[in-house]
A and B are shown apart, each in its own frame.
Chain A
Amino acid sequence: GNSVTQMEGPVTLSEEAFLTINCTYTATGYPSLFWYVQYPGEGLQLLLKATKADDKGSNKGFEATYRKETTSFHLEKGSVQVSDSAVYFCAPPPKAGGYNKLIFGAGTRLAVHP
């Protein structure tokens, strides 16, 4: 069935460091892929998405490219800020016939220090 493997955290970086959070998936077909972010004390919100192979999603300086050949959707940012401290979720494709039932993993916690 469809699944996702996301890099475990926590990830601790200094401000202005480069960030990569790995995400690989298995899926039937080539579904849309999403990254969500959860800031402290809040619900999840969509960070970026890609709807087809080789598509690049971007938002707030974050980017992720939907790579069909490696089945990956790694999240990157060139220079992180303290305000980027949050938990990041790579949302897996739904299970076959699973409608819109997203099943999130534990996410990757990012802590950025000044």
Chain B
Amino acid sequence: NAGVTQTPKFQVLKTGQSMTLQCAQDMNHNSMYWYRQDPGMGLRLIYYSASEGTTDKGEVPNGYNVSRLNKREFSLRLESAAPSQTSVYFCASSEEPLAGSYNEQFFGPGTRLTVL
């Protein structure tokens, strides 16, 4: 049981390049999330997927797109990378919460992205 896995662990891009961050979970969770973590800013939600086939914007979606490929996988794409997107990216998953409540989220180890 690997939990939440992310690839790659490290990536360096040049401004304008594109890339896709991969995330997979083996806990049969319905909900998945992408966060970015910047020094002094904490974690900020980029996009989330409540269940397979649905995605919604979080706090900072600009410059990103997501795909919920199936129940296990949720990818984050940067179409044209900018230095402001230098950050650590975390994927997370959780059981689908009941209305009015929320559930523990399980996090992956992160992807450290540098955009030059």
The interface of chain A, by Cβ under 8 A from chain B, is 29, 31-32, 34, 41-46, 49, 89, 93-94, 99-107
Contacts and interface: CB of A to CB of B under 8 A. Distances in A.
A63 to B, nearest CB: 18
Contact of A42 (B96, B104, B110): B110
Given A31-B102, A94-B102, A101-B48, A45 B107 contact: yes
B20 to A, nearest CB: 19
A103 B59 contact: yes
A97 B40 CA distance: 27
Given A101-B58, A103-B44, A103-B59, A44 B103 contact: no
B25 to A, nearest CB: 12
Given A41-B109, A45-B107, A100-B48, 8 more contacts: A43-B108, A44-B43, A89-B43, A100-B33, A101-B48, A104-B42, A105-B42, A106-B41
Nearest to B50: A99
A49 B42 contact: no
Interface of B: 4, 31, 33, 35, 40-45, 48, 50, 58-59, 90, 92, 94, 96-97, 100-110
Contact of A103 (B45, B104, B110): B45
Contact of A100 (B42, B59, B97): B97
Given A42-B110, A44-B107, A100-B94, A106 B42 contact: yes
Contact of B40 (A31, A104, A106): A106
Contacts of A102: 33, 45, 102, 105
Nearest to A102: B105
B90 A44 contact: yes
A89 B107 contact: no
Given A31-B101, A32-B102, A99-B50, A104 B43 contact: yes
B42 A107 contact: yes
Nearest to A104: B43
Contacts of A49: 104
A102 B59 CA distance: 10
A49 B103 CA distance: 10
